[in-house]
Amino acid sequence: MAAQKVLVTGADGFIGSHLVQALLAKGATVKAFVQYNSFNHWGWLDTLPKDELQRVEIFSGDLRDSFGVDEAVSGCTHILHLGALIAIPYSYHSPQSYVDTNVHGTLNILQAARRHRCERVLITSTSEVYGTALYTPIDEKHPRQGQSPYSATKIGADHLAESYYRSFDLPVTIVRPFNTYGPRQSSRAFIPTVIIQLLAGKDRISMGSLDPTRDLVYVKDTAEGFIRLMEASDCIGEEVNIASGVDHSIGKVAQTIIDIINPNARIIEDEQRIRPAKSEVMQLLGSTEKLEGITGWRPQTSLEEGLAETISWFQDEENRRGYKADIYNI
């Protein structure tokens, strides 16, 4: 990868920061697009070892600004576009911000990639675009159903990406991760939510619906899936899932975490954490066939191993600074 200069948007976030590290380990030159703020905070990149961070070119900007995006893309051969607003509950609250970031921001990336003749562009989708499964395992031909403003904007971004491939021959691949988890994940997700409440000493763990099932992929496996697709030549113009091919109920996973940390704790239902009935996605179980066929990728981390590593990371008090166990993080 030494000849490649890879722009990672959303590099300051959960998956993005792990992807930056994985790219560095493989010898790529990395330019990290982080959300501008006056404190000059670089999100999770600030926690990287000094020798790794010194090898990353930081670009602070805003995906909604086409001028800044164009400047960020300049000189890059590859783009891994992960930057987005992703929290579903917040999309009920502020849907316009999701259109501005997820749709207009993706348009800015596509247009800049076209102008600068990038060799590969990976656009990050989400399994939420499928809605509740009509059949399983969910393959890439499954119908799309926007069951939240968030998922609707991601459907829109996916179709924009497809249109740039078909209209301008832009070398786009749409990467569709299912439910990624691991160290650094925001407490808007259910696994960190359970862990931080338990580590704060709570014995009544507030959660929303326990019945939905999710296809869980450890973050390092997700990052490897991105890199395999970036290197593959026969997935241009394609949509590809990153999934484990196994689903688990939210309630059972939460109970597994409780049994590890504090078996005396119990789950209580918190109404504010429950999605509107027609918005809740009840089952996500992804097909791995396409990704495995193209790249040979298979998840290397079992759920038991991934949960153990995630819990261990959160048990370090320094790592969970800033996490708030007493509030519902939307």
Structure tokens at 164: 């740039």
Residues for the chain: how many in total? 330
For residues 194 and 254, the answer to whether their CB atoms sit within 8 Å is yes
Residue 20 to residue 266: CA distance in whole angstroms: 37
CATH 3.30.420.40 fits 5-180+217-242, yes or no: no
Task: Enumerate the CATH 3.90.25.10 domain ranges in the chain, comma separated.
Answer: 185-214+246-287+301-315
Structure tokens at 176: 């569709």
The pLDDT assigned to 2 comes to 75
The pLDDT assigned to 1 comes to 72
Task: Enumerate the CATH 3.40.50.720 domain ranges in the chain, comma separated.
Answer: 5-180+217-242
The pLDDT assigned to 329 comes to 87
Burial of 251-288, coded b for 16+ CB within 10 Å and e otherwise, reads bebbbbbbeebbeebebeeeeebebeeebbbebbbbbb
Residue 198 to residue 212: CA distance in whole angstroms: 22
For residues 56 and 45, the answer to whether their CB atoms sit within 8 Å is yes
The pair phi, psi for residue 278, each rounded to 5°, is -80, -5
Cβ burial, residue 166 (10 Å; 0-12/13-18/19+): exposed
- Between the alpha carbon of residue 149 and those of residues 82, 90, 93, 97, 272, the distances in Å are 18, 9, 9, 10, 18
DSSP category for residue 286: B
Enumerate residues 6+ apart whose C-beta is below 8 A from 90. Answer: 188, 330
Predicted TM-score (pTM) of this structure = 0.96
Cβ burial, residue 116 (10 Å; 0-12/13-18/19+): middle
pLDDT, block means (10 residues), the chain with 330 residues: 90 98 97 97 97 97 98 98 96 97 98 98 98 97 98 98 98 98 96 97 95 97 98 96 98 97 95 90 97 98 98 97 90
CATH topology for the 185-214+246-287+301-315 domain: UDP-galactose 4-epimerase; domain 1 (3.90.25)
The pLDDT assigned to 261 comes to 98
